Structure 1
Amino acid sequence: MLLRDARPDEAGELTEPALRSKAHWGYDAAFVPSCREELTVRPSEVGERRTAPAEREGRALGFATVDGRPPDGAVGMMFVDPSALGQGIGRALFAPALATARAAGFHRPTIEADPNAEPFHRAMGAVRIAGTPSGSIPGRVLPPMAVTL
């Protein structure tokens, strides 16, 4: 598996695994399309968001972004394609994302986790810090988390 910086021309290739990852959790048919806007990786944002894919044989298995300006920052997006779940891709993405955050000057990056991903983030050392309204579903609350570096 190769971890590297993403190129702007790969943005669309990263959006699709993000959507498949979201769909993996059994949300209803209307939910995933409602997430498309917020899960779209835009070519103009790839560098600014410090986007890093994990790939095998030229295929993106997942990716993470580190967003913001010090001292406030976030692991903004982190998705693993469902076909690669259970293969250590999430762990392989998480540690370098934190290293990128540390190098950028962040002290406690936040994570707006999907409720289904909260156990993974807890296992990586993140703690829940509150509840944030979902941008996709009115009334739904996401578990914002943070990691102290």
Structure 2
Amino acid sequence: MPDCRKIRPADRYAGLQGFTYDAGLAAETVGSTAICMHLLTVPPGGRAKAHKHATHETAIYQLTGRAVMYWGDRLQHRMETEAGDLIYIPADVPHLPTNPGPEPCTAVIARTDPNEQESVVLLPELEHLVPH
């Protein structure tokens, strides 16, 4: 029987999306096989690279701050979020989150990919569609 595990997010890593993440639960840290979960703090003015997660869903619980996420094939949709919101991103949906606010934005992020960075597909051809 596998062991239950507990970790504290102490290590940080640079994600392909352009943000620095606090290491969380993933295949690499606890041996998970179907899920990952980590913390993300986006600084004021922070912006991800346009990307999608191939074949993996994402669930987000926003703890602090405000954010704006652009999503869709041409990033044509805009979603404003704030502390207390739950956000769902289906697999293979292009998106680009930003923090236009004056304070950091912190969230718990879970994905159906145990290897958090393996399903990230960068979409540089969409970068120009979202104003800086």
Task: Calculate the TM-score normalised by the size of structure 1.
Answer: 0.27
Write 1 or 2 for the structure with the bigger share of helix.
1
Write 1 or 2 for the structure with the bigger share of strand.
2
Task: Calculate the TM-score normalised by the size of structure 2.
Answer: 0.29
